[in-house]
Copies of this chain bind each other. A is one copy, B any other.
Amino acid sequence: MKTFSTVRDIEPSADSLPFFTQRRTQKHLYFHYKLEKDDIIYGLGENMGNINKRGKTYVSYNTDNPRHRENTPSLYSAHNFLIVDGHDHFGVFFDTPSKITFDIDNTTDDEMFVRTANDNLDIYIITASDSNSIAREFLSLIGRPFMPPLWAFGFGQSRWGYQNEADLLAVMEGHKLNKLPLDWLCMDIDYMDHFKDFTVNKLRFPLLSRFVEKTREKGIHLVPIIDAGIKIEKGYDVYDEGIENDYFCHNKDGGIFKAEVWPGMTHFPDFFKPEVRKWFGDKYESLIKLGFEGFWNDMNEPSIFSSEYSRYQGRLDVIKSYLNPHHKEDKAEEAAHFDYHNFKNSVEGREVVHHLVHNLYGGYMTMASSQGIERHYDKRFLLFSRASCIGAHRYGGIWTGDNESRWDHLRTEFHQLPGLNMCGFLFSGADTGGFGGNCTRELLLRWLALSVFTPLMRNHSARHTRKQECYRFGHTKAFRNVLGLRYRLLPYIYSEFMKAALSGDMYIKPLAFVFSDEKGRNCEDQLMVGESIMIAPIMEKRQTQRKVYLPEQMTMVTYRNQQFSTEIMEKGEHTIIIPEDEVVFFIRHDHCIIIGKPAMNTSEVDLDDVELLGDGKEYRQYLDDGYTKNASMDNTRLCSRTTA
């Protein structure tokens, strides 16, 4: 864990941990904090739960669970930072590679218990006068987040099931014919030869480098996937090299661990070894040579379908029992968790059971990829990953993992966004429309109306589900409107993202971080996006109106038929009507945002050519060429009504 060095000298607190009382039992280390009724807890990044984390137990233990629901304890990432805002005011980061449990006002009323099984733990306490300052302190402690190029802020379309050139061409054509903007297209596991990393299925993509080039000429970036597991197959160079150099994780019995994932039986690279990270990272060179400038890493919790242990060593009885629907935990989770005890990682020369350092595996894969790409590519690139830990935010973005076409998963993303930002994952977003299950037009439109404001804006869906591209639902005008708005807001989104990343701030915040009055503090359905925008999207089925609380006078902006209209709204509560085909947001009083011209692709976006919107006087814009590595706060300019 020392690899992710801190940028400030904050000493881990030793014996006398402030705020908490400690207790050690034979098995566990407990930290207890007494809550008062009105205290609020923020943080924990990618997790199920409200913005206020009270009333639930969270377990950081990276888990592939696409069907997560309200009481799911573990998702794809481990983000162990939280802020207590109440009678005390502080942030606390539990820096551990192991499983850690946060029982916040759940098992016992008004108590928070943090429990972990081992001592491999540093705790950082940050005190400041307000939550936003605490978050800023933490963000500067953990270091500057990943910054992708401008094009990655464009709209991305994705589906597990695009099989070949023709499928991808059809999507580009669909967007073009329907006048729907598009910047990037994902290539899911089907592009590979038998799901082997860094290979290409030649039947499906006979001349991939040419296809990538042709696509780039249309302004579209292709973004291929890379999974964690390496197929066991003699003659496959990545496998052979891994075997030859002892790059793969060992099992508990001294052999190499075998686990079933998409390619069948695989080995997992031991990303804990620097030489493995170097080797694996360099593999991206072949993809860069094919012309790719964006990548996504998947299945790196690591997700395991079965293993040599669960499959062959008498585990079948246990597996069978999972078929009992009343088995106490999710079946798939338990099977994978079982296997996390069956292999090892090499940590600074010492072999440790994977279980003990489980939460770092995905982060180390991202680090490997990011550093590798950086060695072979000289501009900013797109990289996002599924599993993560705090620290990995420096190397790539994340999406919030496989979800479903559910209204509650739309609300889940909304509640995750501020926590993700607190933990450094500014470049993040969910599978818009939902990965599993069949999306409806209404759900996709409402979800897009949120994704318009998330840095990562991708529509992604699974094989065998209803086709989910924006032109599949008829009445495409509404989709043109919401994607169109994204591109008009790009100058603001890009500028606010870069300013937040460069200055160690959050890009998306709870309302309470800006407006700390009673109603602001308890607001679970409004968020601040950048410095000047407040959003209050509709996140319920067949609802066309909602209540909005304005903590101050604001400008309500409606984007309808590709036109902005504005209305000054008084401080207080309002019921606003938002039809499916419109997007509404708010600009703070005395603030301005910048809007650009309509565009079908980021290549058409001129960051120089912007107008002001809002009742403020000026806007401080960050701008650069969209891919320079030398991003800095020097690259800003003041836009005012006269200059803009």
Chain B residues within 8 Å of A109, by CB: 440-442, 473-475
Q: What's the dominant secondary structure at chain A's contact region?
A: loop
Q: How far is the CA of A67 from the CA of B473 in the complex (A)?
A: 30
Name the one of B107, B325, B331, B437 contacting A64, with C-beta atoms under 8 angstroms: B325
Stretch in A115-123, A316-324, A620-628 with 4+ CB within 8 Å of B: A316-324
Question: Could you tell me if A55 and B406 are in contact, using CB atoms closer than 8 angstroms?
Answer: no
Chain B residues within 8 Å of A325, by CB: 64-67, 303, 305, 332-333, 336, 402
- Asked if A233 is at the interface of the complex by the 8 Å CB criterion, the answer is no
- Asked if A606 is at the interface of the complex by the 8 Å CB criterion, the answer is no
A64-B325, A324-B332, A462-B326 known; A406 vs B69 contact (CB < 8 Å) = yes
Q: How far is the CA of A311 from the CA of B57 in the complex (A)?
A: 35
- Asked if A234 is at the interface of the complex by the 8 Å CB criterion, the answer is no
- Please report which residues of chain A, range 50-103, place their CB below 8 angstroms from some CB of chain B when the two chains form the complex: 50, 52, 54-55, 57, 64-67, 69-71
Chain B residues within 8 Å of A406, by CB: 69-71
Measured CB to CB, the closest approach of chain B to A553, in angstroms, equals 21
Among residues of B, the one whose C-beta sits closest to the C-beta of A339 is B323
Question: Could you tell me if A440 and B65 are in contact, using CB atoms closer than 8 angstroms?
Answer: no
Among residues of B, the one whose C-beta sits closest to the C-beta of A326 is B66
Among residues of B, the one whose C-beta sits closest to the C-beta of A50 is B541
Type the 1/0 row for A517-555, where 1 means its CB is closer than 8 Å to any CB of B.
000001010000000000000001110000100000000
- Please report which residues of chain A, range 375-402, place their CB below 8 angstroms from some CB of chain B when the two chains form the complex: 402
- Asked if A330 is at the interface of the complex by the 8 Å CB criterion, the answer is yes
Type the 1/0 row for A38-49, where 1 means its CB is closer than 8 Å to any CB of B.
000000000000
Most central of A52, A319, A320, A436 by chain B CB within 10 Å = A320
Chain B residues within 8 Å of A303, by CB: 325
Chain B residues within 8 Å of A332, by CB: 322-325, 331
Among residues of B, the one whose C-beta sits closest to the C-beta of A443 is B55
- Asked if A574 is at the interface of the complex by the 8 Å CB criterion, the answer is no
Q: Interface residue tally of chain A, by bracket?
A: 35 or more
Question: Could you tell me if B404 and A71 are in contact, using CB atoms closer than 8 angstroms?
Answer: yes
Type the 1/0 row for A452-477, where 1 means its CB is closer than 8 Å to any CB of B.
00000000001010100000011100
Chain B residues within 8 Å of A462, by CB: 326, 328
Among residues of B, the one whose C-beta sits closest to the C-beta of A544 is B522
Q: How far is the CA of A269 from the CA of B321 in the complex (A)?
A: 23
- Asked if A438 is at the interface of the complex by the 8 Å CB criterion, the answer is yes
Q: How far is the CA of A311 from the CA of B323 in the complex (A)?
A: 11
Q: How far is the CA of A303 from the CA of B524 in the complex (A)?
A: 39
- Asked if A407 is at the interface of the complex by the 8 Å CB criterion, the answer is yes
Name the one of B67, B323, B336, B437 contacting A310, with C-beta atoms under 8 angstroms: B323
- Asked if A106 is at the interface of the complex by the 8 Å CB criterion, the answer is yes
Chain B residues within 8 Å of A342, by CB: none
Chain B residues within 8 Å of A369, by CB: none
Question: Could you tell me if A542 and B52 are in contact, using CB atoms closer than 8 angstroms?
Answer: yes
Name the one of B324, B328, B440 contacting A305, with C-beta atoms under 8 angstroms: B324
Chain B residues within 8 Å of A442, by CB: 55, 109
- Asked if A408 is at the interface of the complex by the 8 Å CB criterion, the answer is yes
Question: Could you tell me if B438 and A57 are in contact, using CB atoms closer than 8 angstroms?
Answer: yes
The 10 closest A-B pairs by CB, nearest first: A325-B332, A305-B324, A70-B406, A323-B335, A71-B437, A69-B69, A64-B325, A55-B541, A71-B406, A305-B323
Instruction: Using A50-B541, A67-B325, A408-B408 as known contacts, list a sample of 17 further A-B pairs with CB atoms less than 8 Å apart, ordered by residue number in A.
Output: A64-B325, A65-B325, A66-B325, A69-B69, A69-B408, A109-B440, A305-B324, A306-B320, A322-B331, A322-B332, A323-B335, A325-B332, A325-B336, A326-B436, A328-B436, A522-B542, A524-B540
